[in-house]
Amino acid sequence: MSGDPPSALAVIIDVSVASWGSRAQGQGSEMQQKQQQLPQQQNSLPDFGVFVDALLAFLQAFVMLHRQNLVTVLAAHKRGW
C-alpha cells in the first residue's frame, strides 16, 4: 500500500440532544418510531459513547492505512455550538 496516494476523510456527527438524548431517555422521537418498524435485531442503535468508541477505532484504522492520511471530525448541533 505504500504506492497508494494519501486520502482525506471528513466525518460530520450530529450531536444534538434530539438525536442522542432521546435514545438514552427512551422518549418517543421520529427516529425511534422508524426503528420500531424494523425487525428486532436491527432495532438496537448504540448510545453516543459506544458510537464514539467505534468511530475512533475506525478513524485510527483509516489513519494507519497511510501515514499521510488526514481525518477531520466536525460536530454539528442545531444551535451551531
Assigned domain for 59 exists: yes
Assigned domain for 14 exists: yes
Assigned domain for 61 exists: yes
Assigned domain for 13 exists: yes
pLDDT (tens digit, 9 = 90+) per residue, 29-72?
555 555 556 555 444 667 888 899 999 999 999 999 998 999 99
- What is the distance between the alpha carbons of residues 30 and 33, in angstroms, rounded to a whole number? 5
- What is the distance between the alpha carbons of residues 46 and 3, in angstroms, rounded to a whole number? 37
Assigned domain for 70 exists: yes
Assigned domain for 1 exists: no
Does the reported pTM lie above 0.75? no
Domain count, the chain: 1
pLDDT of residue 37: 61
Which DSSP letter does residue 27 get?
Answer: -
Say which residues have a Cβ less than 8 Å from residue 32's Cβ, sequence separation at least 6. Answer: 22, 23
32: its cell numbers: 425511534
Which DSSP letter does residue 5 get?
Answer: P
Instruction: Tell me the residue range of the domain where 49 lies.
Output: 8-76
Assigned domain for 43 exists: yes
